[in-house]
């Protein structure tokens, strides 16, 4: 088990108050924050009040009104990538297959083992943390990238593509010295120390475009 | 002299009381043996076929008395009013109960008197002698007419008594201490005790009875209302047990004191057995359909039990972790344990509910609160409702009058209607699924319960719905609604269905409230 951080929360949606309380107690016993909702509409209404930290959803698959599967679909459509762990009180295979295909982290049959649930939640939170940090890196990179001039952006793309200074200079119709100056300036702006850093950076920018 | 007709009249009254008072009171002790045997012939034809042996003797005695009076009249020359004693001859003859003989003797006595007067008294006829003879003649005529009248009344009574005797129903009369004084042929046939053995013995000796509540309460009611009705189990002479529909009525004397009980019994052993078998068959059928409904709900039931169980497990596991952490987590543990207790009870409740529905039970009426009835019926369906995305709307006010009913049977009706509604809605997935339950007190006497859905509706099938073996389901038995109807009718209510304007169907049923039942 990885060490629990306070910047993560487990969101539980189940219509059974006792199950909610039990899960909450279990997660709190290992130091996790929890947020409880009775139904899907409740959860959607409370989305705004959720802390901005890595979260995962522990969701009963059959809820009165809007079901857990329905919520999964809606979240996917709205672009949310929050990891979901499903629970059900009876092993419903077709449903679990559907849920897993649609990207659920795990599917647990009630009554589940606490370790299973905690493992699933650990995985889900790790996933969300990674996703969040990737997202944060990409955002920071984009900020730095935006400080480059158009010429510097051109030079960066060509350097990352593996061209030598001489080749770049002839392509852009400027002297090799000029390219060297551009290159030094953009390395400084992007805080890249070596060519490898630059290539990685260019790659992440390319992906986020 | 002038008192003579009066004496005769008094004599007649005395005789009348002597002969009939006992009969009217149905008290054999003062009823002469002969009358009893004539009123209640053991063989109805015996009287007409073999005339009473005493007849010629009595006739001879009365004729002798008449002739003796005549002789004395002639011998004493009517010095004394001996002629009045013709009445004695008539009275003796009256015991023969034969109108013609009586009439003939009356005429004979009258003739003797006239002959005695003509031959013995005159001529010349003194005024005194004429008057004396006229009064005697008048006395003879009056006595004869009176005796004839009494004979008529006696015959009417006899024929009524014979009717009683010949009735198919068992009729017997017993005194308050249980001693039998009358026992008709119906009673002989039913209880296998001949009259000769039954009369004079108590019913407890003859046919030990088992009363619905107790003999005392039956007697109390009889003394209060002068009548009592109920099913009694009697043991016949051969030891066979009979269930009879018994009707008692109390006979009182002129002062209103209870004297005797007339009991009429009808053998209903076969009827009651058939009724019991019918009830048994119905309850078996109810049980089978209940089990089959529960069979359709197994997933739902498993869910209802698993849910609290998994909550208990998770609470328990969390609790262990809190214990391992060791630091003041007392509140957490206390919370977890309280939840576990609640969930354990919840699971037990579901199982109890399931067990009472699956158990074969005999009809048991009790006071039922409509809200508890509806809630109890939904316990096993919560998951079924969630699974089919059904929105449940309950409209059950708090202050409804209670119902006298069989809880399990009424729950069966509701569960059946709910399952039907949910299935009907599953057939139309494109519509919003709403199951509404509405309970209203129609008036103080009836409770109206309505279950509506937004399913496929009833269409043309509305009228056949409640027929046995009518089904629209592929695997249906067609018993559900037919059983519902028999249950509701058993409760003295009725059930019907209608189509909603907005689509779907509504099932309505009325059941009498406890107040109406009282």
User: What's the whole-model pTM score?
Assistant: 0.57
Is B383 close to A62, i.e. CB distance below 8 A?
A: yes
Is A18 close to B339, i.e. CB distance below 8 A?
A: yes
Q: Average pLDDT in the A36-64 region? A: 86
The predicted structure's pLDDT at residue A84: 93
Please tell me which of the candidates B318, B319, B387 has its beta carbon nearest to residue A62: B387
Predicted confidence (pLDDT) per residue in B92-125, tens digit: 888 877 888 888 988 988 888 888 888 777 677 7
Which of A40 and B37 is assigned the larger pLDDT? A40
| Residues of A whose CB is below 8 A from B388 | none
Distance CA B207, CA B197 (A): 12
**Residues 6 or more apart in contact with residue A58 via CB below 8 angstroms:** A10, A11, A12, A13, A14, A23, A85, A87, A117, A121
DSSP B49-106: HS--TTHHHHHHHHHHHHHHHHHHHHHHTT-S-GGGGHHHHHHHHHTT--HHHHHHHH
The predicted structure's pLDDT at residue B8: 63
Among residues A121, A119, A63, the alpha carbon closest in space to that of A88 is found at: A63
Please tell me which of the candidates B299, B317, B389 has its beta carbon nearest to residue A90: B299
Residue A14 sits at φ, ψ, to 5 deg, of -150, 140
The predicted structure's pLDDT at residue B219: 87
Is A21 close to B335, i.e. CB distance below 8 A?
A: yes
**ipTM of the shown complex:** 0.75
For chain A, the residues whose C-beta falls within 8 A of a C-beta of chain B are 15-16, 18-19, 21-23, 25-26, 28-30, 62-65, 67, 89-90, 110-114, 117
Please tell me which of the candidates B303, B309, B313 has its beta carbon nearest to residue A90: B303
The predicted structure's pLDDT at residue A91: 64
Is B314 close to A22, i.e. CB distance below 8 A?
A: yes
Distance CA B167, CA B184 (A): 8
Buried-state track A149-173, b at ≥16 Cβ within 10 A, e below 16: eeebbbbbebbbeebebeebbeeee
Element (H, E) at B426: helix B407-426
The predicted structure's pLDDT at residue B424: 85
Q: Average pLDDT in the A133-152 region? A: 83
Query: What residue in B sits closest to A29 (Cα-Cα)?
Result: B322
Among residues A176, A134, A184, the alpha carbon closest in space to that of A156 is found at: A184
Please tell me which of the candidates B302, B318, B386 has its beta carbon nearest to residue A22: B318
Which of A119 and B500 is assigned the larger pLDDT? A119
Distance CA A22, CA A72 (A): 23
Is B321 close to A65, i.e. CB distance below 8 A?
A: no
For chain B, 518 residues long, give each residue's pLDDT as a single digit of tens: 555 566 666 666 666 555 554 444 444 333 444 444 444 444 444 444 445 567 788 888 888 888 888 888 777 765 667 778 888 888 888 887 788 888 898 898 888 888 888 877 767 777 887 888 888 889 889 989 988 888 888 888 888 878 877 777 889 898 888 899 888 888 888 888 898 888 888 888 888 888 877 888 888 888 888 899 988 899 888 988 889 999 999 988 888 888 899 999 888 888 888 888 888 877 787 788 888 888 878 878 888 888 899 999 999 999 999 998 887 788 889 999 999 999 999 999 889 888 888 887 777 888 989 888 998 888 888 878 877 888 889 999 988 889 988 888 899 899 989 988 888 888 887 778 889 999 998 888 889 999 999 888 777 766 777 776 677 666 666 677 888 888 898 888 999 988 888 888 899 999 988 877 55
Which of B461 and A66 is assigned the larger pLDDT? A66
**Residues 6 or more apart in contact with residue B378 via CB below 8 angstroms:** B385, B392, B418
Query: What residue in B sits closest to A15 (Cα-Cα)?
Result: B386
The predicted structure's pLDDT at residue A1: 37
Please tell me which of the candidates B299, B335, B386 has its beta carbon nearest to residue A64: B386
Q: Does B485 touch chain A (CB under 8 A)?
A: no
The predicted structure's pLDDT at residue B21: 46
CB atoms within 10 A of CB B476: 16
The predicted structure's pLDDT at residue A121: 93
**Residues 6 or more apart in contact with residue B72 via CB below 8 angstroms:** B82
Strands B446-452 and B365-368, sheet pairing: unpaired
Give the number of beta-carbon pairs within 8 Å between A and B: 85
Is A89 close to B306, i.e. CB distance below 8 A?
A: yes
pLDDT > 90 fraction of chain A, expressed in percent and rounded: 21
Distance between B484 CA and the closest CA of chain A, angstroms: 28
For residue B342 the two structure tokens come to 């609640």
| Residues of A whose CB is below 8 A from B303 | 89-90
Q: Does B299 touch chain A (CB under 8 A)?
A: yes
């Amino acid at each position: 088990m990885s060490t629990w951080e306070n910047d993560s929360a487990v969101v539980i949606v189940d219509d059974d108050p006792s199950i909610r309380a039990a899960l909450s107690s279990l997660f709190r016993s290992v130091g996790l924050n929890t947020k409880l909702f009775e139904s899907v509409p409740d959860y959607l209404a409370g989305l705004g009040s959720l802390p901005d930290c890595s979260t995962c959803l522990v969701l009963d698959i059959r809820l009165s009104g809007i079901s857990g599967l329905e919520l999964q679909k809606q979240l996917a459509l709205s672009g949310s990538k929050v990891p979901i762990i499903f629970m059900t009180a009876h092993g419903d295979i077709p449903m679990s297959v559907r849920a897993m295909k649609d990207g659920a982290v795990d599917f647990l049959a009630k009554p589940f083992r606490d370790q299973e649930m905690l493992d699933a939640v650990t995985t889900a939170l790790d996933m969300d943390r990674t996703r969040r940090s990737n997202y944060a890196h990409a955002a920071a990179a984009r900020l730095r990238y935006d400080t480059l001039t158009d010429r510097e952006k051109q030079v960066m793309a060509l350097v990352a593509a593996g061209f030598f200074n001489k080749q770049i200079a002839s392509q852009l119709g400027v002297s090799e010295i000029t390219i060297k100056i551009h290159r030094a300036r953009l390395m400084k702006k992007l805080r890249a120390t070596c060519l490898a850093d630059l290539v990685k950076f260019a790659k992440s920018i390319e992906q986020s475009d | 002299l002038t008192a003579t007709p009066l004496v005769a009249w008094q004599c007649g009254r005395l005789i009348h009381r002597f002969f009939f008072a006992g009969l009217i009171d149905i008290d054999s002790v003062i009823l002469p043996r002969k009358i009893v045997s004539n009123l209640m012939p053991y063989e109805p034809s015996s009287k007409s076929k073999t005339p009473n042996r005493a007849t010629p003797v009595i006739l001879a005695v009365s004729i002798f008395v008449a002739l003796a009076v005549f002789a004395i009249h002639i011998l004493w020359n009517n010095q004394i009013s001996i002629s009045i004693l013709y009445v004695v001859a008539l009275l003796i003859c009256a015991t023969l109960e034969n109108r013609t003989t009586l009439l003939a003797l009356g005429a004979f006595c009258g003739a003797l008197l006239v002959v005695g007067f003509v031959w013995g008294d005159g001529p010349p006829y003194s005024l005194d002698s004429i008057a004396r003879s006229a009064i005697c003649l008048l006395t003879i005529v009056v006595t004869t007419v009176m005796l004839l009248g009494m004979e008529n009344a006696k015959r009417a009574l006899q024929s009524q008594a014979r009717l009683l005797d010949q009735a198919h129903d068992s009729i017997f009369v017993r005194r308050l201490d249980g001693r039998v004084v009358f026992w008709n042929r119906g009673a002989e046939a039913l209880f296998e005790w001949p009259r000769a053995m039954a009369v004079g013995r108590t019913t407890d000796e003859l046919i030990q009875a088992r009363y619905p509540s107790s003999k005392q309460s039956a007697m109390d009611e009889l003394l209060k209302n002068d009548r009592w009705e109920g099913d009694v189990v009697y043991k016949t002479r051969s030891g066979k047990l009979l269930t009879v529909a018994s009707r008692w009525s109390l006979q009182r004397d002129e002062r209103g004191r209870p004297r005797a009980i007339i009991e009429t019994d009808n053998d209903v052993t076969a009827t009651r057995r058939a009724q019991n078998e019918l009830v048994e068959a119905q309850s078996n059928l109810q049980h089978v359909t209940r089990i089959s409904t529960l069979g359709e709900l197994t997933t739902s039931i498993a869910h209802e039990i698993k849910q609290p169980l998994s909550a208990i497990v998770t609470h328990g596991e969390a609790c262990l972790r809190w214990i391992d952490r060791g630091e003041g987590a007392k509140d957490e543990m206390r919370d977890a344990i309280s939840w576990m207790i609640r969930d354990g009870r919840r699971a037990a409740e579901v199982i109890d509910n399931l067990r009472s529905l699956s158990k074969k039970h005999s009809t048991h009426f009790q006071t039922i609160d409509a809200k508890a009835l509806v809630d109890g019926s939904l316990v096993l369906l919560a998951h079924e409702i969630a699974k089919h995305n059904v929105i449940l709307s309950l409209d059950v006010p708090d202050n409804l009058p209670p119902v006298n009913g069989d809880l399990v049977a009424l729950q069966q009706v509701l569960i059946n209607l709910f399952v039907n509604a949910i299935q009907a809605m599953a057939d139309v997935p494109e519509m919003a699924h709403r199951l509404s339950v509405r309970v209203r007190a129609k008036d103080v006497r009836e409770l109206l319960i309505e279950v509506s859905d937004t399913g496929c509706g009833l269409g043309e099938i509305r009228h056949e719905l409640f027929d046995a073996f009518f089904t629209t389901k592929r695997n249906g038995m067609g018993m559900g609604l037919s059983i519902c109807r028999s249950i509701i009718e058993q409760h003295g209510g009725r059930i019907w269905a209608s189509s909603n304007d907005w689509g779907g169907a509504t099932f309505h049923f009325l059941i009498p409230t406890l107040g109406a039942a009282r």
